[in-house]
Amino acid sequence: MSLKQVPPAGTAVPSNDTKPFQFTGRIRSFRHAFMGIWRMIQCQHNAWIHAAATLCVLTAGFLFHVSSADWCWIVLAISTVWTAEALNTAFEFLADAASPDFHPLVRDAKDVAAGAVLVTAVAAAVIGVIIFWPYFARLLGG
């Protein structure tokens, strides 16, 4: 009888039950991803603020005919904030499932995750000011 070898901790273990690539499986994956985004928008009030800010920034970008380089920064800023908000939301769901009752470490972890969203939102706002300030200054005659 042979003993099953156990790889050292932290070593990736290849799975023998991998499924072949299926196009329908990828479509299901996208469906789940969109359902997750919709769930985030439904239950996270901060996501509503991000959505409003996103619409305002996109509208301003189109109205001011910002450059391609500026669009790259705008898209990067928007996607970073949305990614942080999505990860924060997922983290909150998992934390609530793992510890339905109050626990100070869960509170601290949620605060740190929310802080990460704040950092990205402030950075995005700074990028927005840098990009849009010259356009607004011209509009106001400065």
Residues of the chain above pLDDT 70, percent: 88
Sign, Cα dihedral of 124, 125, 127, 128: positive
Amino acid in position 120: T
Q: Above 70 in pLDDT, residue 3? A: no
- Unique residue bearing structure tokens 């619409």: 55
Q: Which domains does the chain have, with CATH numbers?
A: 67-142 (1.10.287.3610)
What is the widest separation between alpha-carbon atoms in the chain? 85
Distance CA 3, CA 1 (A): 7
Q: Which helix (H) or strand (E) holds 114?
A: helix 104-139
Spatial CA neighbour of 85 closest among 130, 54, 128: 54
Span 86-122, pLDDT tens digits: 999 999 999 999 999 999 999 999 999 999 999 999 9
- Name the band, by pLDDT with cuts 50, 70 and 90, for residue 8: low
